[in-house]
Amino acid sequence: MRYGLKERLLGALVLIALAVIFVPFLLEEKRPAAPISDKIITPEPPAPVKSVVERPVVPELPPSLDKQQKQQVASNNKNLPHSGLTLNPEGGVDAWAIQAASFSEPANAKRLVKELEKNQYHAYWRKINGMAVVFVGPYISQNESREVQDKLLQQQGLKTLLTRYVPEYEARIQGSLPTADD
C-alpha cells in the first residue's frame, strides 16, 4: 500500500510541474508580428572633398649628426673594410650578441652564465621586461656569431636568437643592467 502511495504522489508532482511549465504558454496572448518595412532608407553619400596638394613636403627630422660627422664615420668605415668592423652613425660599433635563454628568476640566469663561462663563452645577463635574459657575445661579424650560435645548439642544446649587441652604457640608460641586489 505504501508503494502505491509513493507512485501517486510522484505522479501528482510531475503533473503539477508540467502544468507550471505549459499553462503560461496557453494563457499568453498572441502578439501581432512586428511590421517589416519593404523600404530601406539610406542617406545620400556626402559630397567628395577636394584637396589640392601642389607638391608633397617631406618633413625634415633634426639630424643626430651633422654632415661632417657623418662623412667622418663613412670614411672611417672605408678605412676598415678588412676587419669587418663598422661604425654606426652614433659612433658606436655594430656588433652582434646571441640571446641564449630567458628566465623569470635571476638565479637561473646566473647559473646558466656560470655554465657557459665554464665552456669558454663570454656570457652575461640583463633584465628586460621583468625577465632575466642571458646573452653570449658580443661578436663583431655576423658570420662569427652564427658559428657560435651553431656550437651552442650542438654542445649545449640551446636554441638561440641572434640580436644586435646593446653596450653596457646603453643598457644602463634603458635600465636593463642588473643591480647588485639581483
Mean pLDDT of the region 80-105: 70
Within 10 angstroms of residue 133's Cβ, the number of other Cβ atoms is 19
Most confident of 83-87, 128-132, 171-175: 128-132
Does this model's pTM top 0.85? no
Question: How far is Cα 106 from Cα 178, in angstroms, rounded to an integer?
Answer: 9
pLDDT band at 182 (very low <50, low <70, confident <90, very high): low
Spatial neighbors of 89 by CB under 8 A, at least 6 apart, are 64, 65, 70, 73
Given a cut of 50, whether residue 81 has pLDDT beyond it is no
Output 135 or 71, whichever has higher pLDDT: 135
pLDDT, tens digit, for every residue of 22-42? 888 888 777 777 777 777 778
pLDDT, tens digit, for every residue of 64-74? 666 776 666 56
**DSSP string computed for 141-166:** SHHHHHHHHHHIIIII----EEEE--
pLDDT band at 82 (very low <50, low <70, confident <90, very high): low
Q: 84-174 in CATH: which number?
A: 3.30.70.1070
Contact at 8 Å (CB) between 111 and 134? Answer: no
Nearest to 100 by CA among 74, 69, 121, 73: 121
What pLDDT shows up at residue 17?
94
Mean pLDDT of the region 115-135: 87
Mean pLDDT of the region 86-109: 78
Output 26 or 57, whichever has higher pLDDT: 26
Q: What is the dihedral of CA 33, 34, 35, 40, to 10 degrees?
A: -140
Output 89 or 174, whichever has higher pLDDT: 174
What pLDDT shows up at residue 36?
74
pLDDT band at 149 (very low <50, low <70, confident <90, very high): confident
At residue 11, the 3 state secondary structure works out as: helix
